[in-house]
């Protein structure tokens, strides 16, 4: 079975699945094109499906370019919404509190005197909470996959949600904590499987599917929701 598919000027990574009954298309966060197909599906059928969806594909690719070029900017003012674990929380500027930024009673609270450093305060807060949250999820999923990462790091990874270091360290973008929990779990499983399978081989996707049978749904949600999520920063 082919690992990639080229149709005119479009190139796709092909992900085969024994569980899938229909063909699906995804434009990943970095613009990578992915076609998910039932195992054994004919190449000609995949090509016909891509040509039928060509207008949709070009539209999605154009949307992602716009998001990269003109990201919306966050304003550190009372009432602005900031995401955390898939929900939006309104910001409240306050005159006194122990930390520059906190989340209390359903609102982010930022010291009025720290507004000029608002971005750094949010990134630091997100990074700290992401590391705690991700450690718990990694500890839960690692035994199912049969791997043991050597550590977890949270930092800015550009357009990647996660990566796997040669030393066995898992790296996650601090912005993963902005996503819904179920989608972050997919990112966790994805990177854990990379400890066994460095490349996106059929064996890689089979291992992901064994650990998370509904991974395709979560991956597609990541593609939809994740585009530009961290761009305002």
Kindly report, residue by residue over 179-205, the tens digit of the pLDDT. 999 999 999 999 999 999 988 888 999
Alpha helices by DSSP H, listed for 3-146, are: 43-52, 54-69, 118-145
pLDDT of residue 51: 92
pLDDT of residue 160: 84
pLDDT of residue 135: 97
- Average pLDDT on 22-45 reads 88
Dist. CA 143–CA 211, nearest whole Å: 10
Question: Could you state, in order of their start, the residue ranges of all structural domains in the chain?
Answer: 4-69, 81-226
Q: Which of 108-117, 154-163, 166-175 has the lowest mean pLDDT?
A: 154-163
Percent of the chain with pLDDT over 70: 91
pLDDT of residue 159: 77
pLDDT of residue 65: 66
Using CA of residue 74, residue 124, residue 141, residue 148, what is the dihedral sign? positive
- Average pLDDT on 28-41 reads 85
- Average pLDDT on 111-121 reads 95
- Position 210 pLDDT exceeds 90: yes
CATH superfamily of 81-226: Metalloproteases ("zincins"), catalytic domain (3.30.2010.10)
pLDDT of residue 227: 58
pLDDT of residue 27: 84
- Position 136 pLDDT exceeds 80: yes
- Position 232 pLDDT exceeds 70: no
- Average pLDDT on 17-41 reads 87
DSSP H/E element including 86: none
| Mean pLDDT, the chain, whole residue set | 89
Judging by beta carbons within 10 Å of its beta carbon (0-12, 13-18, 19+), is residue 169 exposed, middle or buried?
middle
């Amino acid at each position: 079975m082919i690992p990639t598919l080229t149709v005119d000027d479009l190139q796709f990574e092909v992900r085969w699945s024994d569980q899938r009954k229909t063909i699906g298309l995804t434009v990943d966060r970095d613009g990578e094109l992915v076609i998910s197909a039932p195992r054994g599906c004919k190449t000609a059928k995949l090509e016909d499906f891509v040509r039928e969806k060509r207008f949709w594909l070009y539209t999605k690719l154009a949307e992602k370019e716009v998001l990269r070029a003109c990201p919306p900017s966050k304003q550190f003012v009372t009432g602005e919404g900031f995401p955390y674990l898939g929900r939006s929380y309104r910001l409240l500027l306050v005159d006194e509190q122990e930390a520059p930024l906190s989340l209390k009673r359903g609102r982010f609270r930022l010291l009025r005197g720290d507004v000029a450093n608002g971005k750094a305060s949010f990134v630091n807060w997100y990074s700290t909470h992401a590391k705690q949250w991700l450690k718990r999820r990694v500890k839960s999923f690692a035994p199912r996959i049969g791997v043991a990462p050597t550590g977890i790091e949270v930092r800015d990874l550009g357009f990647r949600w996660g990566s796997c270091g040669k030393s066995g360290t898992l790296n996650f973008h601090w912005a993963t904590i902005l996503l819904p929990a179920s989608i972050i779990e997919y990112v966790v499983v994805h990177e854990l499987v990379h400890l066994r399978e460095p490349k996106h081989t059929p064996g890689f996707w089979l291992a992901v599917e064994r650990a998370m049978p509904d991974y395709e749904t979560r991956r597609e949600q990541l593609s939809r929701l994740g585009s530009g999520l961290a761009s305002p920063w």
